[in-house]
Structure 1
Amino acid sequence: MEIKVLGTGCANCRNTIALIEQVAKLKGAQITLDKVEDIQAIMRYGVMATPGVVIDGKVVHAGGIPSREKIEQWFDRQQNTNV
């Protein structure tokens, strides 16, 4: 699972990264987590509010820290498609 967190490095972006890492560890998920801080690269995803989250090339969240429940759902969906 390839995850990108889009943002300029603000506290919300850092908290989003930490939360994703926590949930991934809890779920035992193998992830590649990248930070995208370049404004032009962020805009190419069409994200106008950060932090944004991209999973396997698809924007799944933009603006504010996603809830733990929402992040867990991303991992649950990924696990269900790999079964």
Structure 2
Amino acid sequence: MMHAWLFTGANAPLERIERDIPRGEGNNLLIAVRGSGLCHSDVGRMDGTLTPYMPQKPPIILGHEISGESLSVGPEVRAP
């Protein structure tokens, strides 16, 4: 199992959740995230200023500025 913080709506507290660990399949890479930052758009979602303009609606796991280690690579992944 992995842990994540789920955004459910503007001005609501994040909810700590557990999810099954996904697999690195197809053209995907599975990364064990060791750290994740929240950017300006994430904060704008949380305070409601950008929430109506974002393409993906809650609930969503925020944070796309990550660092970590590769755990598995799908067979269709190609080096640039």
Give the greater-gyration-radius structure (CA).
2
Comparing both structures, which one devotes a greater share of its residues to strand? 2
Scaled by the length of structure 1, the TM-score of the pair is 0.29
Scaled by the length of structure 2, the TM-score of the pair is 0.30
